[in-house]
């Protein structure tokens, strides 16, 4: 995968600057969900420099669609665009080049879970940050909010461990309260773009063509379903009218037979 394109802010009077608009990318990500094969998302990494040696990297993304497969059935589950810039899912990583220290300056916000998007975004942050300061170390407290039950705890811990972070639980054998640690950013293994975790970046024009094609197919399918519904409704109406005629004819026949039998017996 090609390296992440970033627009860097320029240090001014020490109070930081607002980052310039960063390029918006699109990527097809293989998910780890057993029934969901690929996720399409558009994402963005922005960089803000503060006082020269403090740098903040923020990644945000919106899910476009997820391809799922159950048995031989394949389909796409689309997600509506929220706005012109991604923002439903957000992660941030800050580094201090003087102290050689990295931190997570805000909570991880992941709305679209279990499609590999969070790991992919954090990978982009790691790659961008270690290109600026590869020797930075990180030690952050794990959020207990993400470990309310065993499944969420295991998912949170796996989220960090698969990228090469070390988890420390000095006072909690249940692995809920502890720290996420790395000695150097270069020790981490984002792993995206490998055979195990393939990622294909796609151009915006190609995505728009695909979305237009999906929309056209959806409209065609809706029109065919509407036409079939009208045809079936018409056939059902004809069948009901035919049944009503047969009922009336049968009633007339029964009445005529009853009257004939009555007259014959007189």
The domain segmentation of the chain, as residue ranges, is: 24-217
Report yes or no: 163 and 190 within 8 Å, Cβ to Cβ.
Answer: yes
Summary mean pLDDT of the chain: 76
Domain 24-217: CATH class, spelled out: alpha beta
Task: For 164-186, give one letter per residue: b (16+ CB within 10 A) or e.
Answer: ebeeeeeeeeebbebebebeebe
Q: Tell me the sheet residues that pair with 181.
A: 139, 166
Statement: residue 27 has pLDDT above 90 = no
Task: For 3-26, give one letter per residue: b (16+ CB within 10 A) or e.
Answer: ebebebbebeeeebeebeebebbb
CB atoms within 10 A of CB 131: 12
The full 3-state SS of 6-34, as one line of letters, equals CCECCCCCCCCCCCCCCCEEEEEEECCCC
Most confident of 103-117, 167-181, 189-203, 205-219: 167-181
Q: What is the pLDDT of residue 168?
A: 94
User: Per-residue pLDDT tens for 144-159?
Assistant: 888 888 988 998 898 8
User: Per-residue pLDDT tens for 195-248?
Assistant: 555 566 666 566 667 667 777 887 888 899 899 999 999 999 998 998 888 888
Rounded percentage of the chain residues whose pLDDT exceeds 70:
68
Report residue 186's pLDDT band, with 50, 70 and 90 as the boundaries: very high
Statement: residue 78 has pLDDT above 90 = no
């Amino acid at each position: 995968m090609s390296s992440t394109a970033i627009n860097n802010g320029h240090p001014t009077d020490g109070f930081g600057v607002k980052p310039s608009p960063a390029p918006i990318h699109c990527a097809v990500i293989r998910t780890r969900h057993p029934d969901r094969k690929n996720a399409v998302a558009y994402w963005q990494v922005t960089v803000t420099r503060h006082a020269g040696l403090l740098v903040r990297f923020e990644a945000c993304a919106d899910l476009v669609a997820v391809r799922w497969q159950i048995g031989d059935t394949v389909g796409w589950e689309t997600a509506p665009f929220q706005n012109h810039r991604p923002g439903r899912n957000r992660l941030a990583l800050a580094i201090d080049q003087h102290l050689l220290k990295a931190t997570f300056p805000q909570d991880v916000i992941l709305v679209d879970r279990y499609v590999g998007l969070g790991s992919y975004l954090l990978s982009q942050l790691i790659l961008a940050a270690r290109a600026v300061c590869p020797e930075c170390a990180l030690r952050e407290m794990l959020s207990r909010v993400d470990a309310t039950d065993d499944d969420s705890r295991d998912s949170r811990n796996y989220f960090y461990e698969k990228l090469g972070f070390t988890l420390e639980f000095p006072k909690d054998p249940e692995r809920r309260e502890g720290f996420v640690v790395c000695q150097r950013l270069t020790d981490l293994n984002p792993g995206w773009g490998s055979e195990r975790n393939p990622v294909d970046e796609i151009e915006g024009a190609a995505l728009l063509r695909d979305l237009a094609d999906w929309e056209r197919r959806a409209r065609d399918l809706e029109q065919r379903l509407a036409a079939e519904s009208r045809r079936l409704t018409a056939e059902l109406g004809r069948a009901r009218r035919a049944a009503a005629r047969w009922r009336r004819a049968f009633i007339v026949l029964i009445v005529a037979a009853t009257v004939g039998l009555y007259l014959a017996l007189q």
